[in-house]
Every structure is written in C-alpha cells, then in structure tokens.
Amino acid sequence: METKILKMNPFDIDFKKINIAAEIIKLGGLVVFPTETVYGLGANALNENAVKSIYKAKGRPSDNPLIMHFDKLEKIKDFVYISENLYEKIKVFIPGPITFVLKRKNIVPNIITANMDTVAVRIPIHPIANKLIEMSGVPIAAPSANLSGKPSPTIAEHVVEDMKGRVDIIIDGGNVDFGLESTVIDLTEDIPTILRPGPITPENLKEVFGEIKIPEFIYGKGKVDTAKAPGMKYRHYAPDKKTILVEYSENRIDIIKKIIKNYKNPLLVLFEEDKKYFNGYDIITSGNKNDYYKIAVNLFSILRTADKTNNDVIIIEGVKDKGLGISIMNRLRKASSEIWGE
Ligand code: TXA
Ligand code: MG
C-alpha cells in the first residue's frame, strides 16, 4: 500500500489537507493522526471492515478493544448510556487526554468493543485530531499508531517507522503534548476505577469524582482484571533489548553501580542530576528528576532510541509513584524485563 504523508502545523491548520484525510476515513481507509497524547491509527468506527483493517495494520489481538473518538461530547449520547449527573462531571475534562468506559448502546459495532458490553470514548483536544473527526462526520476508532507491543509513537518519524506501507495517510503534525496515552477510567460502577493511568492524574480525578479506585495492577502488582481491562495484560512498550528499571530511591546511584558491573556496554537513561556519577558511560538524559512532564513526553521516544544502539542493556531510572509519576512508572514497569528496588 502506498502511504501519503501530509505535513501540517497544528497551530495553523490546513483545512484542504484535513479534508483529504477525512475523505479517506469516509471511504473506509486508514489515517494516522496526531493527538495531544500519542499518534492514533484511525478509521471510521461505524465501518466494520475499516475497523478490521486497524487490527491488521497494527498486528493487534482482536480481544483488545478500541477507543471511539468524537469531536464533541454531546455525540457520545448516541452510543453510550450515561446519567445526567455523570455527564456534568465528565464535562470538566473535555476535550482532553482522558477516556471514559461506559455501558454501550447496540449501535456500537462489536469489533470495536471486542464483544464487551462497554465502550471507551474520548474527545481529543488536539486541533488536528478534533478537526479530522469533525470533517469525517463519523466517530473515529483509533488505537495508538505503533505496531502491537512497541512504544506508542510521539513523533512522526516513529509513526513512519511502524506504519509506512500499512496505512493510506500519515498526518505529520510534529510532536505530541503529553507523550503518554490518555487516562482510562471505568465509569460503569458507583466508584470510578482507573484502568490506565495517564496525563489526568488521580488527584485531578478525585477533585471531580470524590472517591476513585486505583487497582494494584496499575502499580505492576497483583493480577489484572482482564474482564474489565483486557488491554493491560499485554506486555507493552518493550524494547527488544534487555531493559532494567531501577525504582526511585536515595540509593539509586549505588544500585545502578552494582548492576552495571554485570554488563559490557550498558546504556544508562538518567536524570540530569545523576549524570555526573557515571562519567564515561553511554547516557541518555530523561529530564530533571522532578520534571515529570518532560520525562513523560520524552519517555517513549527514549525507549525507541535506546533500542537502536549497540549497547547490551538499557538501565533506566524510575520516578516516584506520585501524580504523573504513577503513569510514567506504569509504562516503565511494563517496558522492563527486570526491576530493581531498594
Ligand atoms: O491516548 C490515547 O488513548 C490514544 C490516542 C490515539 O487516543 N489511544 C490509545 O489507544 O492509547 P489504545 O488502543 O492503544 O489503548 C486503549 C486502551 C487499551 O488498553 C484497551 O484495552 C482499553 O483502552 N479499552 C478500550 N476499550 C475498552 C473497554 N470497553 N473497557 C476497558 N478497556 C478498554
Ligand atoms: Mg496502545
């Protein structure tokens, strides 16, 4: 398949170009587009064959459901059951980097939901994503635009790496804003439950919902409730190379010094502040140790870069399980083949 690449400035949108992509969506084709979280691989959510081709292009298992993306919140009402009370609450976050799991109506194609009785809905704030959905005139089903198992793409170069030849159009809208996929929250029970931590933090959610549940698997512990969170059982984001995560602690420098003795040629992913302890080693900087936004936005890109070097192992420093740090650590734990704590 020939893939057309459309370059676009998110701050000065070219409606003609978006229209080309919207026409492809209407015809049942595949369009990769930037969002505020990561790049998405989109198709007309109401066209079963088009949605099938998403799973094929990604190599994604068919038991892992997709998110339906809308341009406006009102439009979800045709597809999900939601109380007025809940609707008022979720408005606070919309549009933005959050996905709501709700009871679905029959009109939602089974292929999107992997036959579950719920569906995930999201209203992105990214101007290109939002306009593309609006001009397509249909909801867009879109997973992250990576090959299954790889880190989600946060820059167009990584989309091209994974998706060239597999999709009709790639919209290159530059870098994303957050670099971690949207927060997924299940609203089908009395107390909302986080299924995937993301840019909207537990603190943000508590302000609106009051009580929320954060299952243990979010922190890499306990068992994933696969009936509720089918996507979380897969090992994601994993570089092909051995990846060791060193959890945050005061002793982290000593722990890393101990680990590196076992390897010939390690690549260290370190905080700016910690580089000075490892002169002479190959190092990629993740950001200042308290700058979680920067660490998050660079994370997937760093994992991809690290995988391409000729080092024999990646050793990466973790952050605290606090705020956005919970989302960073959730991805890092999934990416790692070995985890060292204190
Ligand atoms: O930021 C994002 O959410 C990006 C952009 C493109 O919007 N999309 C994304 O999609 O990350 P994907 O397919 O890579 O991740 C969606 C997650 C998966 O873990 C999936 O299992 C879960 O949402 N999910 C989808 N529908 C669900 C449902 N009905 N119940 C529970 N989890 C669901
Ligand atoms: Mg994904």
Q: Which sequence spans correspond to the domains of the chain?
A: 4-219, 243-340
User: What is the DSSP pairing of strand 183-186 with strand 193-196?
Assistant: antiparallel
The pLDDT profile of the chain, 342 residues, written as one tens digit per residue, is 999 999 999 999 999 999 999 999 999 999 999 999 999 999 999 999 999 999 999 999 989 999 999 999 999 999 999 999 999 999 999 999 999 999 999 999 999 999 999 999 999 999 999 999 999 999 999 999 999 988 999 999 999 999 999 999 999 999 999 999 999 999 999 999 999 999 999 999 999 999 999 999 999 998 888 888 887 776 667 788 999 999 999 999 999 999 999 999 999 999 999 999 999 999 999 999 999 999 999 999 999 999 999 999 999 999 999 999 999 999 999 999 999 997
- Beta carbon of 329 within 6 Å of any ligand 1 atom: no
Q: Does domain 243-340 have CATH number 3.40.50.11030?
A: yes
How many CB atoms neighbour CB 275 within 10 A?
Answer: 14
Tell me, what amino acid is at 117? D
Global pTM value: 0.97
Are 117 and 104 contacting, i.e. CB atoms less than 8 angstroms apart? yes
- Beta carbon of 143 within 6 Å of any ligand 1 atom: yes
- Residues in CB range of 198: below 8 A, 6 or more apart: 37, 97, 98, 178, 180, 181, 182, 183, 184, 327
Burial environment of residue 165 by CB neighbours within 10 A (0 to 12, 13 to 18, 19 or more): exposed
- Cα of 52 to ligand 2 centre, how many Å? 16
Closest protein CA for atom 20 of ligand 1: 231
Cα–Cα distance for residue pair 280/156, rounded to 1 Å: 32
Q: Which CATH superfamily is domain 4-219 in?
A: DHBP synthase (3.90.870.10)
Q: Which atom of ligand 1 is nearest to the CA of 118?
A: 29
Which of 99, 150, 226 for a ligand 1 pocket mutation test, highest count of atoms within 8 Å of Cβ? 99
